[in-house]
Amino acid sequence: MTPAPKAPAPADAGRSSPELESLLRDAAARLQPEVQRRLQGLIGSLMRAYLPQAWVFQTDVGTATLVVDRDGAASAIPGASASPDVTVEIPYARLAAALRTGSRTGAASESVSVTPHTAKGRAAFDYLRQRVGL
């Protein structure tokens, strides 16, 4: 029996990548207005329980973290957060395509390895996974 393919191990999990950081900054800029809009009203008070979030993306070009704070401000930071909610190991090309199109088209889900580190991280990732094409 052949084991299922896994995400490629990052070349250097601690290496920062300007290319990856730029990709996540662009994603943060698109994400922030939507999150801040959703934080209004009763539903927003429920959503706040899941914030802040820090998602570490480990790719073949390096590592960066997407952070959303309690007020919905989103940003990208180089390297891995010291206390991530989720770690996603994914080839850079697959991540870039998913974030740009929001679609899984042309990529196998086996190429993504997701490790939730917190219950709120698991819940948020499960909710958002389809929306961002992962």
Per-residue pLDDT in tens (0 to 9) along the chain, 134 residues: 434 444 444 444 567 789 999 999 999 999 899 899 999 988 888 889 999 999 999 999 999 999 999 999 999 999 999 999 999 999 999 999 888 877 665 555 558 899 999 999 999 888 887 767 67
Can you give the residue ranges of every domain in the chain?
18-128
For the entire predicted model, the pTM comes to 0.83
CA distance 21 to 63: 8
CATH code of the region 18-128: 3.30.1050.10
Are residues 7 and 111 in contact, defined by beta-carbon separation less than 8 angstroms?
yes
Q: What's the pLDDT at 55?
A: 96
For 33-71, the pLDDT digits (tens) are 989 999 998 888 888 999 999 999 999 999 999 999 999
| Confidence at residue 107, expressed as pLDDT on a 0 to 100 scale | 52
Q: Residue 41: left if φ>0, alpha if ψ -120 to 50, beta else—which one?
A: left
Count CB-CB contacts under 10 A for residue 76: 19
pLDDT score of 109: 54
| Phi, psi angle pair for 47, to nearest 5° | -65, -35
What is the b/e burial string over 110-129, where b = at least 16 CB atoms within 10 angstroms of the residue's CB?
ebbebebbeebbeebbeeeb
99: tokens are 């974030």
Q: How far is CA 8 from CA 3, 15, 44, 61, 93, in A?
A: 14, 15, 37, 11, 12
Radius of gyration of the chain (CA): 15
pLDDT at 37: 92
